[in-house]
């Protein structure tokens, strides 16, 4: 199991107090977190610092972002070995009832037949509906 500092080291991101606490928080979550989620959880940490931390993490592929249509970008820690290349991508699921967004790490994205000459670089794939808890 990788520790927070292992991850930062592998991804070549300097370890700081805020980065450690943000990544520690993200690693504990079962659902992807918005900036506001993190802000609410880490009440003594400034929003813009968290924001810049998330940008740094995303640039360095520590985390990936998900646009789930809720109006707030969500973030989740990348799987070990993920390089955010097309073959590393996975689907996400947004529950329209409880507003949670999950990474479906086990559901890779199939080869999409793009039009002639198009080049795939990234993807934001979000299935929406009811999660197991809300679909009763």
Partner DNA sequence: CTTAGGGTGCAACTCGATTGCAAAGTTTAC
Partner DNA sequence: GTAAACTTTGCAATCGAGTTGCACCCTAAG
Residue from 3, 16, 24, 97 binding Zn ion (CB under 5 A) = 97
Q: At what angle do helices 47-59 and 17-28 cross, to 10 degrees?
A: 80
DSSP character for 133? T
Buried b (16+ CB within 10 A) or exposed e, 92-106: bbbbeeeebbbbeee
Measure the CA–CA gap between 62 and 79, rounded to whole angstroms. Answer: 9
Site for a copy of itself in 56-95 (CB under 8 A): 67-69, 91, 93
Determine if 14 is a binding residue for DNA (CB under 7 A): yes
Site for Zn ion in 116-135 (CB under 5 A): 131, 134
Q: First CA to last CA across the chain, in angstroms? A: 35
From residue 32 to residue 71, the character string flagging contacts with Mn ion as x (rule: CB under 5 A) and all else as - is ----------------------------------------
DSSP character for 108? E
Determine if 125 is a binding residue for a copy of itself (CB under 8 A): yes
Residues that bind DNA (CB under 7 A): 14, 16-19, 34-36, 45-49, 51-53, 55-56, 71-73
Residues that bind a copy of itself (CB under 8 A): 67-69, 91, 93, 96, 102, 104, 106-107, 110, 112-132, 135
């Amino acid at each position: 199991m990788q520790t927070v500092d292992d991850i930062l080291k592998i991804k070549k991101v300097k370890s700081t107090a805020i980065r450690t606490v943000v990544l520690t928080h993200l690693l504990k979550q079962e659902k992807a977190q918005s900036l506001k989620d993190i802000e609410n959880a880490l009440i003594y940490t400034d929003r813009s610092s968290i924001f810049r931390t998330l940008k740094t993490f995303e640039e360095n592929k520590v985390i990936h972002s998900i646009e789930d249509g809720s109006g707030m970008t969500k973030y989740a820690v990348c799987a070990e070995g993920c390089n955010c290349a097309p073959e590393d991508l996975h689907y996400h699921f947004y529950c329209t009832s409880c507003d949670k967004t999950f990474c479906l790490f086990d559901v890779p994205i199939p080869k999409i037949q793009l039009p002639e000459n198009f080049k795939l670089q990234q993807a934001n794939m979000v299935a929406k509906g009811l999660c197991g808890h809300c679909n009763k």
